[in-house]
Amino acid sequence: MTLYLRQESFSHAETILFADETGAVRFRAEGRLLRRGGSAVIADAAGEETARIGRSGSFLAPCFEISRKEEKALLSRRFSLFKPEYRLDPPGWTVSGDFFSRSFTVRKGDARLAEIGFKGKAKIVLFTEGEESLILGIALILLSQLKESVRASV
C-alpha cells in the first residue's frame, strides 16, 4: 500500500492526511512535534485513535515516544556532527537513510517494512500490514526533524 502525505493547515495544530492512491484518506495526524513537549495523535479513517506521539529531550538530541494501545516504541536521535542517527526501541527495528536524500527505510530484523520519501510528493510505501500506526508515527517524526533542520539552517 502506498500512502501520500497532504498537509491540511498551518494553524496552531498542524493536520497531516495520509491518503491512498485513489485519494481516500486512510489516516489523519494532528498536533505539533517541532517543539519540546510537542505531541501528535494519529487516527484511522473512522476517527479512532491508533497512535499517540510525544516529544521530549533537547534540540540536538530529541526523543519521541510512540504509544499504541498497550505498546510503546521510542525513537531517539543520537548526537552526530555530520549525519543524524536514530535508535529505535523495540529492539530489532531500524530506521536508515538521511536528510540529504530525504529517503528512509524502516526494517524489522531483515524484513523491509516501509520506504518513506519526502522528495517531490511525500509518500510512504508499506510492505506489511499491522504496523501502519508505528510506521506513520516514524514518518511524522522524520518529517518534523526535516522541517526543524531546514528551519535551523535558515
Lowest mean pLDDT among 16-20, 33-37, 85-89, 100-104: 33-37
pLDDT greater than 70 at residue 148: no
What is the domain-level CATH number for residue 129? 2.40.160.200
Report the pLDDT value the prediction gives residue 103, as an integer from 0 to 100. Answer: 84
Residues 6+ apart with CB under 8 A from 54: 37, 38, 39, 64, 65, 67
Contact 74, 59 (CB under 8 A): no
Q: What is the pTM of this model?
A: 0.78
Domain of residue 12, residue span: 2-153
Residue 154 pLDDT level (bands cut at 50, 70, 90):
very low
**DSSP string for residues in the chain:** -EEEEEEEE-SSSEEEEEE-TTS-EEEEEEEE-SSTT-EEEEEETTS-EEEEEEEEE-SSSEEEEEEETTEEEEEEEEP-SSS-EEEEESTTEEEEEETTTTEEEEEETTEEEEEEE-SSS-EEEE-SSS-HHHHHHHHHHHHHHHHHHHHHH-
Residue 150 pLDDT level (bands cut at 50, 70, 90):
low
Report the pLDDT value the prediction gives residue 104, as an integer from 0 to 100. Answer: 85
Report the pLDDT value the prediction gives residue 8, as an integer from 0 to 100. Answer: 61
pLDDT tens digits for 90-133?
777 888 877 777 888 888 888 898 888 877 778 888 887 878 77
Report the pLDDT value the prediction gives residue 60, as an integer from 0 to 100. Answer: 64
pLDDT tens digits for 47-85?
999 988 888 877 667 788 888 887 888 888 766 666 556
Number of domains in the chain: 1
Report the pLDDT value the prediction gives residue 48, as an integer from 0 to 100. Answer: 92
Instruction: Please state, in angstroms and rounded to a whole number, the distance separating the CA atoms of residues 65 and 154.
Output: 28
